[in-house]
Amino acid sequence: MAKEKSPSFIHELQLILTPKEIKNLDKRLEVARQIYNACLGEALRRLTLMRESTIYAQALKTPKQTKHRIELFNQASKQYKFREYDLHSYVKILCKRTWLSKHIDSSTAQAIATRAFKAALKYALGKGGRPRFKGTHAISSIEGKSNQAGIRWRDGRVEWSGLKLKAVFDLKDKHGVEAHALACRTKFVRLIRRIKNGTSVWSIQLIQEGMPHIKPKNQMGNDIVGLDLGPSTIAVVASTKASLQAFCPKIDGYGKKIKMMQQKMQRSQRATNQDNFEATVYKKNKNGRTIKKLGKVKKGSKQWGRSKKYLIMRHKVANLQRKLAAARASAHGELVNNILRLGKTIKTEKLSYVSFQKSYGGSVQRRAPGLFLEKLRYKAANAGGEVIEFSTRATALSQTCQCGNKQKKQLKDRWHNCSICGIHAQRDLYSAHLARFVNENRLDTTQALVAWAGADILLEQAVSSLNKTAIGGFCPASFGLGQSQSGLPVKKKSVQHKALDGVACEQLQVRAKESVVLCS
């Protein structure tokens, strides 16, 4: 039975388990890993045979985007049984002939086979690399096909092949989120294991039919919002509000702790397995200073020993990474809700995260801007809005002024200064402002000029609020607070920005009215 394609959302609950139940679930997850590896190996074997066939070679020679080409590919996959339901038949026979059926039911085994087939299919279509087999503790979740068999949700608890697991409910439920989720129909159930301080902690994800409950404070706006997303900062501009802030600042402390712990682990591994490394070399540089160059890992097969201290540190690193992921998910959700309160239509540049990783690998790994945009796109679509991405090369907003003048800037130049129309603004905020008026990869300069009558004060207000960040908090260099508006460096003590008062607010209202008159 294929999974339903109707709208759905996830509601997660913690499980109350005895040590015996935890041990049983850990064992079943290990069996699921072995089934996955067996299905993946069989899928890759069938894919190799299919690619070596004459039908597949004939399909490759056929012109693209033709029905005959698709028919040949379907014929090849049918002949060599490289299809999802063929893999279901394989795992059914596999479980019957082995001891695996004592731990995993057929419905759950088929869901595991589907997971392996999707990984192989992605590789076959060229959308991903060759999938790898899962090592010990590499799989952390298992799910069923439906709520009718296998892993099921019944009467407020999980039932699975003799196991009846109790869940923890939110008795207060201030906003009615849990009551709304449990009132919806359950499509299927997913069990998730997380390692906390070296022990397994299990939770359940209910995939419910319908739309998620929206809190009153998170009601969606109807404005058009412009974004300028960087590796460590984000600028948000709407018609009524503008902000420039650090992107996920809550996770900054975890990165340093993880790096220090990993360095200790490397030193411990090098001390415990000295025979697996080449000798350390000491050289003198041009200045006469002695430089220590650690030996590389020797080639060939090796056996690695791990001390007790190493294993303790490995558990600590895993715990820190789990906390970092939770803090990042929380920061992403909060920022997405703040943006959607302004408007459901979001416009931003289509970024290349591969180039981001090359230049800012550590920041991208910790902050995950791509994952943030996926969450923003999903929530905006559920609210009836959309995220519109436009070409960076075609628009070049960081180099463009609303008057049409284009002037190249270096990455260190954080202020936009137009020599023709005299506009001065923070670079990221101004790019986000212009993004609101991009249609079909072209900047509508007329709309941008009309809207600038009220937007200039909003951008000034956003910059003035950065003074608090500069005084006591995290202040990235890309904010440009260490530069004057002319682009020249200034002393930190002399960084000043205009603060808005009541007169400025009145001016903002007057300019907004003037812009309406001009539009009409």
- Compute the average pLDDT of residues 85-89: 95
Give the pLDDT score at 498.
39
pLDDT > 70: percent of the chain: 89
Q: How far apart are CA 271 and CA 304, in angstroms?
A: 11
Higher pLDDT, 246 or 15: 15
What is the phi-psi region of residue 221: left when phi exceeds 0, alpha when psi lies from -120 to 50, beta otherwise? beta
Q: What residues have CB less than 8 Å from 6, skipping those under 6 apart?
A: 209
Q: What is the pLDDT of residue 219?
A: 83
Q: What is the pLDDT of residues 373-425, one digit of tens each?
A: 999 998 998 888 899 999 888 888 888 888 888 888 887 888 888 888 888 88
Identify the CA nearest to 9 among candidates 382, 330, 369: 382
DSSP state of 115: H
**Residue for token digits 């070399």?**
281
Rg from Cα positions in the chain: 28
Quote the DSSP letter at residue 276.
G
Residue 41 and residue 90: Cα distance in Å, rounded?
A: 12
Q: CA torsion angle for 376, 378, 382, 384 (degrees, to 10)?
A: 60
Tens of pLDDT, residue by residue over 186-237, are 999 999 999 887 788 999 999 999 988 888 888 888 899 999 998 888 999 9
Query: 204-219 burial string, b = 16+ CB within 10 Å, else e?
Result: bbbbbeeebbbeeebe
What is the residue-averaged pLDDT of the chain? Answer: 85
DSSP string, 72-113: HHHHHHHHTT-SHHHHHHHHHHHHHHSGGGGTS-HHHHHHHH
Report which of 326, 386, 334 is spatially closest to residue 215, judged by C-alpha positions: 334
How would you class 409 by CB atoms within 10 Å of its CB: exposed for 0-12, middle for 13-18, buried for 19 or more?
middle
CB atoms within 10 A of CB 86: 17
At how many degrees (to 10) do helices 427-435 and 445-464 cross? 140
